[in-house]
Amino acid sequence: MKIREDFTTLFGVNPDLVASAPGRVNLIGEHIDYSDGFVLPFAIQARTYCALRIRSDERVRVATNQNKRDVFESSIAELKPQTGPVWTRYILGVLWALDIKVGVEILVDSEVPSGAGLSSSAALECSVATALNAHFELGKSLTELARITQRAENEYVGVPCGIMDQSISLMGKAGHALLLDCRDLSTRQIKVDFESNDLKLLIVDTRAHHALVDGGYAERRTQCEAVAKELGVKAMRDLSIGELETARTRLPELNYLRARHAVTEIGRVLEAVKVLEADDFDTFGNLLTKSHKSLRDDYNVSCPELDLAVDTALNLGALGARMVGGGFGGSTISLIKSDEAAKVAVEIERAFSKSGFGSPRFFDSLPGDGARVESY
Ligand code: GLA
């Protein structure tokens, strides 16, 4: 395995073990994990690999193939939130959140493109957590690891993300999407087989990344929390659309719209599971498109590049399309008849060029497995 050789070249010793964890796309259920909702992501084939060796002292040395393998060095006792160059924090944060007390050497290598909305951060955190959990025989369950890696990102990195990305990176199963209840982290694996139905899920990385990302995400969270507080419920999960409509005049209009997205999106996820299980891909596609409109119009987290990729796919007959992930850039998914996927990609590329946007990247990925130890 290449990362073993790279590790040995870099640190002059062999790693103790290599673990890996995947990125994700979310079929439906966007921006509702932090509102205690339901989400339906699947793990993609692209993975992040973590090679790890335990040291006999307190030194921590970390490097990534994505950053010229420059080694960042610290003492394990000195790790505290928001210390270390930004790229190292996803690794150091996991050491911190797992309360590791001895030194380690870590090299990571990622196939998950960063900034594409495919959750390269969670893939990185979960590959490190899986390696540490196995090596130190910590015995943490996948649910515990999801909470720990989320804490690493919330507190050490300083990003107020929800629990979806870490959960799917840890719990993904080939051929399935994960129905995750973000309140209690209970799960159900839902079979996803687009191929046998002559369908393809085209992932388009728009390569757009807008500055709004961080503030915009936190602001949406705060708006949903404000509505919950005003209406006396724990989270958007506990609100019906009827109750929300009745309370509309008590809420600032923008907050009402945010809540409307959250409440309707939760409903769409549950319906999407039903229709997927019945192989009703037309209705499933419609739900994807409705989700996009709600994210665009009520939640305002789309952007011109995402809208163009979605609209182009829909104009060419896609069954459904929507943005995925946090938004303000990143990727879209489109459900397309297999033999039309190539044409759709060409047309999206052309539309981007015509609008003066940079060239998008295309992926298609079958649902893959979650985090695992690769080798000792
Ligand atoms: C990011 C966050 C997730 C989730 C999505 C939006 O990926 O990390 O927790 O909130 O945005 O669904």
Residue with tokens 């992930």: 325
Mean pLDDT, residues 334-349 taken together? 97
pLDDT band at 115 (very low <50, low <70, confident <90, very high): confident
Residues linked to residue 322 through DSSP beta bridges, in sequence order: 333
> Which of residues 55 and 364 earns the better pLDDT score?
55
pLDDT band at 211 (very low <50, low <70, confident <90, very high): low
In three-state form (DSSP H/G/I as H, E/B as E, the rest C), the secondary structure along 180-227 is EECCCCCEEEEECCCHHHCEEEEEEEEEEECCCHHHHHHHHHHHHHHH
Q: Which atom of ligand 1 is nearest to the CA of 162?
A: 9
Task: Flag whether pLDDT at 59 surpasses 90.
Answer: yes
317 CA to centre of ligand 1 in angstroms: 28
Mean pLDDT, residues 145-157 taken together? 97
- Choose which residue among 121, 161, 236, 301 to substitute to test ligand 1 binding: the one with the highest number of ligand atoms within 8 A of its C-beta: 161
Is residue 252 a part of any domain in this protein? no
376 CA to centre of ligand 1 in angstroms: 32
pLDDT band at 132 (very low <50, low <70, confident <90, very high): very high
103 CA to centre of ligand 1 in angstroms: 31
Mean pLDDT, residues 214-229 taken together? 94
Sign of CA dihedral 5, 11, 12, 16: negative
Is residue 306 a part of any domain in this protein? no
Q: Which atom of ligand 1 is nearest to the CA of 122?
A: 8
Mean pLDDT, residues 246-255 taken together? 97
> Known catalytic residue: 70?
no
Q: Three-class SS of residue 104?
A: strand
Mean pLDDT, residues 319-323 taken together? 98
Q: Which atom of ligand 1 is nearest to the CA of 159?
A: 8
Q: Which of 282, 229, 214 is nearest to 259 (CA)?
A: 229
d(CA 318, CA 315): 7
Mean pLDDT, residues 365-373 taken together? 96
- The domain spanning residue 117 has which CATH number? 3.30.230.10
117 CA to centre of ligand 1 in angstroms: 9
Residue 22 near residue 172 (C-beta atoms within 8 A) = yes
Is residue 154 a part of any domain in this protein? yes
Alpha helices (runs of H) in the chain, residue ranges in sequence order: 2-11, 86-97, 120-135, 142-151, 164-171, 213-231, 241-247, 253-277, 281-297, 304-315, 341-354
- pLDDT (0 to 100) of residue 68: 78
Q: What percent of the chain has pLDDT over 90?
A: 95
Q: What is the DSSP string of 223-242?
A: HHHHHHHHHT-SSGGG--HH
Q: If you average pLDDT over every residue of the chain, what do you get? A: 96
370 CA to centre of ligand 1 in angstroms: 18
Q: Model-level pTM?
A: 0.97
Q: Which atom of ligand 1 is nearest to the CA of 117?
A: 7
Is residue 227 a part of any domain in this protein? no
The total number of structural domains in the chain stands at 1
Task: Flag whether pLDDT at 350 surpasses 70.
Answer: yes
Task: Flag whether pLDDT at 67 surpasses 90.
Answer: no
- Choose which residue among 28, 30, 33 to substitute to test ligand 1 binding: the one with the highest number of ligand atoms within 8 A of its C-beta: 33
Is residue 353 a part of any domain in this protein? no
Q: Which of 137, 125, 116, 120 is nearest to 170 (CA)?
A: 125
- pLDDT (0 to 100) of residue 232: 97
- Residues within 6 Å of ligand 1 by CB: 30-31, 33-34, 119, 161-162, 164-165, 325-326
Mean pLDDT, residues 211-221 taken together? 81
- pLDDT (0 to 100) of residue 72: 96
267 CA to centre of ligand 1 in angstroms: 18
Residue with tokens 């037309």: 282
- Choose which residue among 27, 35, 42, 165 to substitute to test ligand 1 binding: the one with the highest number of ligand atoms within 8 A of its C-beta: 165
Mean pLDDT, residues 330-358 taken together? 97
Catalytic residue among 165, 181, 298, 307: 165
- pLDDT (0 to 100) of residue 88: 95
Q: Which atom of ligand 1 is nearest to the CA of 326?
A: 11
Is residue 99 a part of any domain in this protein? yes
Residue-wise pLDDT tens digits, 160-170: 999 999 999 99
Task: Flag whether pLDDT at 213 surpasses 60.
Answer: no
- pLDDT (0 to 100) of residue 1: 87
Is residue 67 a part of any domain in this protein? yes
Q: Domain range holding 156?
A: 2-190+368-375
Distances (CA, A) of 183 to 32, 271, 284, 325, 370: 11, 18, 24, 19, 21
Is residue 88 a part of any domain in this protein? yes
